[in-house]
Amino acid sequence: MARYRVIRNRKAYLRRRGIRRFLSLAIIITIFAYATYSTYLNRMKRLEEIRMERAVYEETLDEVLLRQGFYNNQIVRLKDEDYIAMLAREYLRSLPNEIVFRVIGDEIETVDENLPQAIDEDSSSVTEEYSSVIE
């Protein structure tokens, strides 16, 4: 009978030990699952924030590209002498037959080279056609 009691106690001990192992393993798996799930949720939240920031940056990029295209077009237009002459007439209120001079240092350059020269080279006098410009 003592032997039977030892075997019965051993079975009870093994059963309790198995239940403890099972509960310990279940608790460890639950903790691991919770940590993994919370990490997943945090990453998804951060990913959503990054997507929103990206949308804002893409809108800004579109605006910057439009401005860049405008400025590149302006650069090309400003390399054209006719366009510069038109701007000078518009901003300086000059007439189409007037010559606009650009002063750089001690040199004087004409902006519109297609117009005839106003100064007569032989007598260094101003022709009658352009005398109103100088006055």
Report the distance separating Cα 21 and Cα 30, nearest Å. Answer: 14
Q: What is the pLDDT along the chain (135 residues), one digit of tens a residue?
A: 556 666 678 788 888 889 999 999 999 999 999 999 999 999 999 999 999 999 999 999 999 999 999 999 999 998 988 888 788 777 776 666 777 666 666 554 454 444 444 443 433 444 444 444 444
> Full-prediction pTM beyond 0.85?
no
Domain span at 27:
1-79
Asked whether residue 39 falls in the same domain as residue 71, the answer is yes
Asked whether residue 66 falls in the same domain as residue 45, the answer is yes
Asked whether residue 96 falls in the same domain as residue 68, the answer is no
Strands 101-104 and 107-110: antiparallel
Is the distance from CB of 73 to CB of 65 less than 8 angstroms?
no
